[in-house]
Structure 1
């Protein structure tokens, strides 16, 4: 049983009157009393030390208790983290499975696309009989030269006026002189590239090349039209004829893409109607 420190201290202090009484009756000497006081002081010091030790033990006990609670909390947190880690692992495994499925489907689609392109490349371009004969392809009619409103003198140095140059190129095209027509239309674009007929001249330069069985050069001419005059009213016909040029080159897949572009971008135009017919003849749809 542990005696409280304050009880021991009080007991020691209570012995002091007893020592005084002993001195009065003459039973002990003064040196004995002094020694007794020293002894009492030592006992008080020991009592104080014991009190401090007791307080320290209580603090240590409280620290141990708090530490135990913290350890228990950490253990619970570790358990929660472990459960979450397991859950994340399962989710990652599920995602990995889905990714593998997506890669497998992508590989299948790539193979199907390659097979489709191979079939398109192997197929021969359709002959003229495969297309409707009751409808002329838009843009194939010869250009019409504009009639000048007022006759004007030719520019200095003998250079033809814009109207004369365009009219001469148009006449060459109508006579089947497609190389001369190409040169005339390109000359017009180079000299008078800012007039209302500049984009028309560029378009007919491409048509002249197409008539000469030069589809690659015709595609380049149409591309120049798209780049220089993106809002030209000749753009639908030029896109259609670009698709025709790809067909002439045996590039059926590119032709289908170009014809579908015409249908999507200009759905109400005559060029879109012609493009749908050509796509149908090619065994493709207009989607």
Structure 2
């Protein structure tokens, strides 16, 4: 069963350098559109110059004007080719990263008692989750404990989270783990979902289910790598892997905390844990 966690962090090093792919893809699309517009404008200028006859050509600088246009068109063609190549590289990295996360979810599910592999579902594209599906906000704008405005929360989301978290605070860890998991599923993409998965990991850990906790923290980090709890989730994942005897994977996960989140408070905790494990 321990072997199921071997490679549970194989995608973390790759993910450490990943940009926000959805944003980059949009930027590349904008660049390609602008390049196409510039190319069309250069071609239009060429046609105007040629149609103006010898007098217009001489006024523009003679044959050198056409030569300059040839140079510009060649440069635009080269830039267009480079953006297409970069787009293809990003698509390959997104596909590979998504497949790796899906494999991690499958492996960790294998080692959990009662985990139904068929319930895992299709892994969302890495960096391309649609956050627009979050439920409609409420008119109120008071602050909640997670620093989020209640205007960002769906109806009843804050109260449902508080209730599930309250069960954890009361010490009913098995029940808390179930309620927090249900919350994260019900409000997928919501501003409190990463908190729910993080606390689900805590509930499972305090229940004695370290493997289940590792899965919850892996889900929290991989699903919400930019969430408020991402540094803590990655640190806890490294700790859990160390507890399960996966020292190499634990060191990899812990080492990524400082690289991905250099300003996070969890960095000191991750370094302390690396020291305990004797990570190089």
| TM-score, normalised by the number of residues in structure 2 | 0.43
Compare CA radii of gyration and give the structure with the larger one. Answer: 1
Structure number with higher relative contact order (C-alpha < 8 Å, ≥ 6 residues apart)? 2
| TM-score, normalised by the number of residues in structure 1 | 0.42
